[in-house]
Amino acid sequence: MTEGRDGSAPSAVEELALARRALDSGDLPHAAGHLAAALVHAPTLPEVHETLAHIAAASGGDLELFPIGQRAFVGAVVARAHLLAAAGRPAEGLDLLVAATGHAPGVDWAGVPWVTAPELATRLDPERAARILMQVCTAVPDPVPRAGRPPLLPYLTLARHAVAAHPRHGLLLGAASALARRLGEVTLAVTWAGRGVREEPSKLGEVWLGYAYRSAGRTREALAALERAVAHDPDDLAVYADIAGTLADTGRLDAALEWIDRALARDPTFDCAVHTAHRLRFLRDGDVTHLVALADFVRDHPDDSHEHADLAECCRGRPWLGQVTPAAGAMVDALRRAPAADGAPGRAVRLAVPEPPSAMRAGAAAGLDVEVTGTSRPDPREPRRATTCQLWRYEGAVVAPTLPAPSADAAERVRHLAHPAWP
C-alpha cells in the first residue's frame, strides 16, 4: 500500500475541487483519483464523503474506479471500503479499513458514521466481527501508546456495539477484550474476557483473560488463566513461554525456568521457548554466552512465528551489548575542551602518565601538543600480553599505527556500523 503523494502534493481542498470538476465533466476515473487523494488528507471530512457518494451515484457504484491489487493506493483502498459499506457489504469494507489502519495506524480511517453506528453490529455475523477485531489487534502495537489511541477508538466503539448485539459469543468477547486491553481499557478487557470464558471455555479465551489480568496487575489470576489454557492445549508452547515471562516479571526466575524447560523438552527449537530461555538464563547469571547463543539462533532461524524482542531487551543500556561505552580519561577530556573548528591553533596538554595509544593518536590528530611527564605500570602503550599483531608503535612520544590505512570500503562499513546505540 502506498501514500501516493509527495511534499508538493495538493491539499485535501484542492484535490476535492479537482474531483468535483472532473465529476462535472463526466471524467469519472479522474474524479475518483482526486477523491482518493483527498481521503488520504482528510479521511473524515464530510465534503469528501459527499463527493464520493456523487461519484458512486454517477458510476452505479463501480468499485473498479478504486482498484486494489498488489500495490494499492491507500486512498483507493479506503474509498472502496466506504463504497462496499454503502452497497450493503460492510464486513468487506471493514476488512479494507483495517488494512489501511495497518498501513498507517495514526490516521483516523474508521472515524466515520457507518463504522460507529450501533446498527452495524446487528448486520455483522459475530464470528466475522470477532475476526475483524482480531485483525485490528494484529495491525497495532500492544499496548498502543496513549497518543496513538484516538484514531483506533471507532473500532472499540464497534466492539462495544458488537458485544451488546451478541452478548454470549465467546470468540467475540475475547477479541473485544484484546482490543480494549491494547487501548488501555483494562477493566473492560477483564470483564469481556471473563464473560467470554464463562460462555465458551477455550484455550484462546483463557489466554485473552490471562493477558487482561496481567495488564491489570492481577498476576496470580493471570497465571491461573494461562495454566488453564495449557490444560486446554498442552502442545501450545507459546503459552508456556507466556507463563515463564509472567513469572520472571515477578522475580520468580526458578519457577519461570521450570516452565520454559517443560516447553523445550517438547520442542527444543520452538522460537518462543528458545528466546525466553536464553533471556531468563541471562537474567539469572549474567553470562553473555546465553545472548551469543540467542544471537546465533536468531541468525539461523529467520522465520520466527512472530517478532521477538528478548535479545534487544537484554542488551538495552548495557555497554558494548546495546551501546558504545563513552570514552574517558585525561586525553579525552582535553579533546572535548579543544577547539572544534578546522585549522584552529593547537593547545598544550600535560599528562602525568601516558594514555592508551588510540587516545594519544586522537590527540595528535586534533592538533594537541601533548607532553607526558611520568610513567605508569603497566605501561598503557604496550600490549597487556604477548601478541603477534601489535597495533601501535612509538617514535619518541609520537604514536603511529603499525597497520596501513583502511580501504575506502572498510572505512565506509565502519561508518555504517558506528552508532552510539543499537537494538
The tally of domains found in the chain comes to 4
For residue 84, give the C-alpha cell: 462496499
Instruction: Verify that 22 and 123 share a domain, yes or no.
Output: no
Sequence-distant (6+) residues with CB within 8 A of 223 are 210, 243, 246, 247
Instruction: Verify that 229 and 126 share a domain, yes or no.
Output: yes
Out of 69, 87, 105, pick the residue that ends a domain: 87
Q: Considering the domain boundaries, does residue 188 fall inside one? A: yes
Instruction: Verify that 37 and 74 share a domain, yes or no.
Output: yes
Q: Considering the domain boundaries, does residue 340 fall inside one? A: no
For residue 400, give the C-alpha cell: 603511529
Q: Considering the domain boundaries, does residue 107 fall inside one? A: no
Three-class SS of residue 153? helix
Which of 194-198, 206-210, 249-253 shows the lowest mean pLDDT across its residues?
Answer: 249-253
For residue 401, give the C-alpha cell: 599505527
Q: Considering the domain boundaries, does residue 329 fall inside one? A: no
Res 357 pLDDT > 50: yes
For residue 244, give the C-alpha cell: 515463564
Instruction: Verify that 44 and 79 share a domain, yes or no.
Output: yes
135 vs 365 pLDDT, higher one: 135
Contact assessment for residue 262 and residue 268, using Cβ atoms and an 8 Å cutoff: no
Contact assessment for residue 299 and residue 292, using Cβ atoms and an 8 Å cutoff: no
Q: Considering the domain boundaries, does residue 338 fall inside one? A: no
Instruction: Verify that 174 and 219 share a domain, yes or no.
Output: yes
Q: Considering the domain boundaries, does residue 191 fall inside one? A: yes
Three-class SS of residue 392? strand
347 vs 110 pLDDT, higher one: 110
Out of 201, 233, 265, pick the residue that ends a domain: 233
Segments forming the whole domain that contains residue 258: 251-323
Confidence of residue 164 (pLDDT cuts 50, 70, 90): very high
339 vs 241 pLDDT, higher one: 241
Which pLDDT score, from 0 to 100, does residue 412 have?
95
Instruction: Verify that 224 and 258 share a domain, yes or no.
Output: no
Which of 36-45, 218-227, 274-283, 325-334 shows the lowest mean pLDDT across its residues?
Answer: 325-334
Res 8 pLDDT > 70: no
Q: Considering the domain boundaries, does residue 330 fall inside one? A: no
Instruction: Verify that 23 and 79 share a domain, yes or no.
Output: yes
d(CA 114, CA 127): 19
d(CA 139, CA 142): 10
Res 3 pLDDT > 70: no
pLDDT digits (tens, 9 = 90+) for 242-280: 999 999 999 999 999 999 999 999 999 999 999 999 999
d(CA 218, CA 304): 30
pLDDT digits (tens, 9 = 90+) for 29-62: 999 999 999 999 999 999 999 999 999 999 999 9
Question: What mean pLDDT is reported for the chain?
Answer: 91
Instruction: Verify that 221 and 260 share a domain, yes or no.
Output: no
Query: Which pairs count as long-range contacts for 76-81, CB under 8 Å and 24+ apart, including other chains?
Result: 76/32, 76/36, 77/1, 78/36, 78/39, 78/40, 78/43, 78/109, 79/32, 79/35, 79/36, 79/39, 79/52
Which pLDDT score, from 0 to 100, does residue 339 have?
64
**CATH number of the domain encompassing residue 136:** 1.25.40.10
Q: Considering the domain boundaries, does residue 21 fall inside one? A: yes
Which pLDDT score, from 0 to 100, does residue 50 have?
96
- Please give the average per-residue pLDDT across 107-125, as a whole number: 96
DSSP structural state of residue 319:
B
Contact assessment for residue 231 and residue 210, using Cβ atoms and an 8 Å cutoff: no
Query: Which pairs count as long-range contacts for 299-302, CB under 8 Å and 24+ apart, including other chains?
Result: 301/269, 301/271
Instruction: Verify that 226 and 255 share a domain, yes or no.
Output: no
pLDDT digits (tens, 9 = 90+) for 337-349: 876 545 455 578 8
Instruction: Verify that 189 and 271 share a domain, yes or no.
Output: no
Out of 184, 200, 233, pick the residue that ends a domain: 233
Instruction: Verify that 144 and 184 share a domain, yes or no.
Output: yes
For the chain, give the longest Cα–Cα distance: 91
For residue 115, give the C-alpha cell: 463504522
Nearest 10 degrees: CA dihedral of 157, 163, 165, 168? 180
Instruction: Verify that 294 and 364 share a domain, yes or no.
Output: no
The residues that bridge with 348 in the sheet, in sequence order, are 369
